[in-house]
Amino acid sequence: MIPLGFGKFVRADEIVALIPIDPDDRGGGRRTYVHTETLSEPLVASRSEKAILADMETALTAPEAPHRRRLFGRRALHEPRRLQPA
């Protein structure tokens, strides 16, 4: 789980895009728009995109992470899942 600030958390493997908010539009701690697989609207984070990316890398590469995935090795959503031979 990645903390976004404002009491919001999101799973590292669900984040698909991080967009910094323009300095003119920032206010009240708003720093980054966080787009996820499951939500149609972005979440607003009070953390920078660099800090969120660092936490994502740590979470996705940790050997004890139960849902470990590589950032760029994801399957396309429309591809059917295939069972891997044992």
Which of the four pLDDT bands, split at 50, 70 and 90, describes residue 50? very high
Residue 67 lies in a domain: no
The predicted pLDDT at position 59 comes to 87
Mean pLDDT along residues 55-63: 85
Domain count, the chain: 1
Residue 84 lies in a domain: no
Residue 38 lies in a domain: yes
What gap in Å lies between CA 60 and CA 65, rounded to an integer?
A: 7
Residue 53 lies in a domain: yes
Which of the four pLDDT bands, split at 50, 70 and 90, describes residue 19? very high
> What one-character-per-residue DSSP string does 8-21 give?
EEE-GGGEEEEEEP
Assess whether pLDDT exceeds 50 at residue 30. Answer: yes
Mean pLDDT along residues 4-21: 94
Assess whether pLDDT exceeds 60 at residue 79. Answer: no
Q: Residue 17's domain spans which residues?
A: 2-61
